[in-house]
Amino acid sequence: MQVLTAWHRIARVFLPFAAGYYLSYLFRTINALIASHLSSDTGLGTADLGLLTSAYFLAFAAAQIPVGILLDRFGPRRVQSVLLLLAAAGAGLFAISTDFLSLLIARAMIGLGVAAAFTAGLKSIVLWFPRDRVALLNGYMVMLGSLGAVTATVPVEHLLAWMGWRQLFEVLAAATGATAILIYAVVPERGIVPSAARATLSSVFGDRRFWRIAPLSATCVGSAWSLQGLWASPWLTDVERLDRVSLVRQLFIMSIVLTGGAWLFGMTVHFVKRRGIGAETILAMVAVLFITAELALILRTPLPSILPWSVVAIVGTATVVSFAVIADYFPPELAGRANGALNVLHFGWAFLAQYATGLILERWSAYDGHRTLQAYQVAFGVNVALQIAALVWISLPWGRYLAPRMRPIAFFVPANVFNVVEPVSSYENSVVLIPVDDDAEW
């Protein structure tokens, strides 16, 4: 059993995984800025661009269950470093691709390669830090990672003027490979906590509490990622008629707000949980705020558009709230599987929302190179309707009755496998925590 002081855990565990998550966020949002370059250089249409960008989410979502199992089995250090090498290869392929198919494959490789970026960070926090600090550190993890979204605005715009998008992806490929090596070399190995009997993936999918919060979390977080990752840029160009400079400025502001939102959610969850308030309440409040912001955009309320779009950006960091709920529901030895299961829904919904939005927009003809407001109203309105349904599901009493009957169709196993497993203690296998000073709480 390895003994690390608090500052050593920050430097050797938290920060390396935060760097991996930073790259994940950068790859996720960069297509919003380079969309026009991709369209002009490769001749991609709106639907093709939506499919290409959403391939990241599809590959990411498809990998979440296997990644969760691997994290619980082999630990975050080895899993993250190997997958980041795949992301580096994908970025390199993206840089040299000239046709839609190779771009699609490269984008999927990137999505698969960073599939463990967030969940590996969460798993490392659960393994190395006190349980009462998990929500706070999750917030800091998302805050630092979301700096990738900041980078994918004004800084990338300046780099594009200097080197072009292909050279940019060559740099990203090198940086991703270097981060993979850093994680493998610096992060200490942590003994894997033995799983309790029947602590399996079925324990996650069979928990009624999981199915109460999962639809709301997925439809809100996934839609926010879809909007900021791609469709915010066309909306601001087609509906708001912003020029390139104004567009980049607004995307930059959104990314700054997103970073602050992660910190805010982490602090809020940490605060309210200490007072015995469930994080589910915060998630429902976030959903109401998100729906209100989207309706403000759809109905064209007389507000500066940066206000509702800032709310959209903030909701993209509500994973801090969702995973705080999950941390309360499941023991540490199930953390990888539980986080992965929820992330399947987050990224699966982001893929569906991003691709479906492109399909809906193409139903309307472009005039003078711009889609009509009605096209965006319909596309965004479909998402809002589903979010409202998920909010009703978690709020009304019949949601509590039906939730345990929501069984994943893909798992053809006997019904009794889905019995709820109560959290088990793992303190016998906990890490020795050495305070760095007399006032330290760890």
Report the distance separating Cα 136 and Cα 117, nearest Å: 18
CA dihedral 431, 434, 438, 441 (to 10 degrees): -20
Helix (H, G, I), strand (E, B) or coil at 328: helix
Of the chain, the percentage scoring pLDDT greater than 90 comes to 36
Amino acid type, 215: P
The pLDDT, as a whole number, for residue 431 is: 38
- First and final C-alpha spacing in the chain: 17
Q: Which of 81, 103, 80 is nearest to 92 (CA)?
A: 103
Mean pLDDT of the chain: 82
432, burial (CB in 10 Å: exposed 0-12, middle 13-18, buried 19+): exposed
pLDDT, residue 377, reads 95
Q: Give SS3 for 195.
A: coil
Q: What is the pLDDT of residue 191?
A: 60
Q: CA-CA distance, 338 to 134, in Å (whole number)?
A: 15
Separation between Cα atoms, residue 136 and residue 262, nearest integer Å: 10
pTM score: 0.69
Q: Which domains does the chain have, with CATH numbers?
A: 7-190+198-405 (1.20.1250.20)
CB 190 within 8 A of CB 404: no
**Higher pLDDT residue, 22 or 196?**
22
Q: From residue 13, how far is each of 24, 48, 143, 182 by CA, in Å?
A: 17, 39, 16, 11
- Rounded to an integer, what is the distance from CA 387 to the centroid of its chain? 17
Residue with the bigger pLDDT between 327 and 359: it is 359
Query: Three-state DSSP class for 300?
Result: coil
CA–CA gap between residue 281 and residue 328 (Å, rounded): 14
Query: What digits encode the pLDDT tens for the residues 215-247?
Result: 999 999 999 988 987 889 889 999 999 988 898
Going by pLDDT thresholds of 50, 70 and 90, the confidence category of residue 425 is: very low
Residue 127 above 90 pLDDT?
Answer: no
Identify the pLDDT of residue 398: 46
Nearest CA-CA partner of 3 in 431, 440, 441, 437 = 431
pLDDT class for 3, splitting at 50, 70, 90? low
DSSP string, 48-105: HHHHHHHHHHHHHHHHHHHHHHHHHHH-HHHHHHHHHHHHHHHHHHHHH--SHHHHHH
Could you tell me which residues come within 8 angstroms of residue 111 by beta carbon, excluding any fewer than 6 positions away? 27, 55, 56, 57, 58, 59, 60, 63, 90
* Rounded distance between C-alpha atoms, residue 76 and residue 394, angstroms: 32
- CA 91 to CA 170: how far, in whole Å? 7
Q: For the chain, give the percent of residues with pLDDT over 70.
A: 86
The one-letter amino acid at 187: V
